[in-house]
Amino acid sequence: MIKHLKNSEIDIALWDECITKSFNGLVYAYSFYLDVVCPNWEALVYEDYKAVMPLTGNKKYGINYLFTPIFIQQLGVFSTIKTDVDLIFKFIKNIPKKYKFIEINLNSHNKLPDDFPGKKLNNNYELDLIEEYQKIKKRFSENTLRNIKKAENFGVIVSNNVELKSIINLFRNDRGKDVENLKDEHYFVFEKLYGKLERRGLTIKLGAYNEVGNLIAGAAVFYSNNKITFIFSGNSAEGKKKSAMFLIVSTIIESFSGKNMILDFEGSNNAGLAKFYKSFGSINCQYPSIQINKLPLPIRWVK
């Protein structure tokens, strides 16, 4: 039986144990992650936490809705037992009726029929790191190999001695200028989120420095459940010119190569980013999103 639990009713210890033991567990689904990005999240729980589904909801104009919070790519159903289309469908059917609009991302293991209403597939690139670095490197594109060499020839050095705020500032002064939905409060949320995971030993920061020691690019990653999630990065004009991000990603791959780990690039439906991620030999592991609109008719037409 699937139960709906309000936030105060969730057994956090059993919840996090389920995410840890799930065959498809992701860092986004832990209680301490959800507490930051959606403090009043609720849950669907199957048979004493054998499978769970976070419900990340909010309320606007008196209407309850489900959404995928910022800094989360995939949620959906996480399970310690075998799942199938029927179980995923049961979870979706058990979403409380109070949610009149649902627009959420499931995870790549949540299979739904091709004709499921409101279903869309999204691109996400992942790289298996089980092999040694030199074997993985052989699958890098020629352009990526050239860019790594270019960064090295420019004297770019990658170090973990970098401040998170510096990486955020790189992003805000570059690509962040064009991302209108990212406000000051969202960067504050990310800093808080990073701090929570850092205290649990689940983070890494890397900075790329030029030949005189100035930061020109940086990246922050989370890791858990045998996955390294490329969660946030920042670049500069000089960093792009000197191909610094290629060297940062190569350094991450080299650091974790030979281990039972997956590098999750966390995207992308953007063609340019997808090309960059694919150039390291990663493969596309698509995940579904669903939209269910139960709004009253006049509002539904607007939405």
Contact between 108 and 285 (Cβ < 8 Å): yes
Q: Helix 142-153 crosses helix 244-256 at what angle (to 10 degrees)?
A: 100
Tell me the whole-structure pTM to 2 decimals: 0.93
Which residue do the tokens 């075998």 mark?
82
3.40.50, 1.10.10, 3.40.630, 3.30.70: which CATH number matches 2-122+288-302? 3.40.630
Residues forming CATH 3.40.630.30 domain(s) in the chain: 125-284
153 contact partners, CB below 8 Å, separation of at least 6: none
pLDDT tens track for 95-108: 999 999 999 999 99
- What does the alpha-carbon distance between residue 112 and residue 6 come to, in Å, rounded to a whole number? 26
161 contact partners, CB below 8 Å, separation of at least 6: 207
Strands 78-79 and 125-128: unpaired
- Does domain 125-284 bear CATH number 3.40.630.30? yes
pLDDT reported for residue 209: 98
pLDDT-flagged residues of the chain (< 70): 297-303
pLDDT reported for residue 146: 98
Question: Which DSSP helix (H) or strand (E) runs through 222?
Answer: strand 215-224
- What does the alpha-carbon distance between residue 265 and residue 281 come to, in Å, rounded to a whole number? 12
- What does the alpha-carbon distance between residue 86 and residue 113 come to, in Å, rounded to a whole number? 10
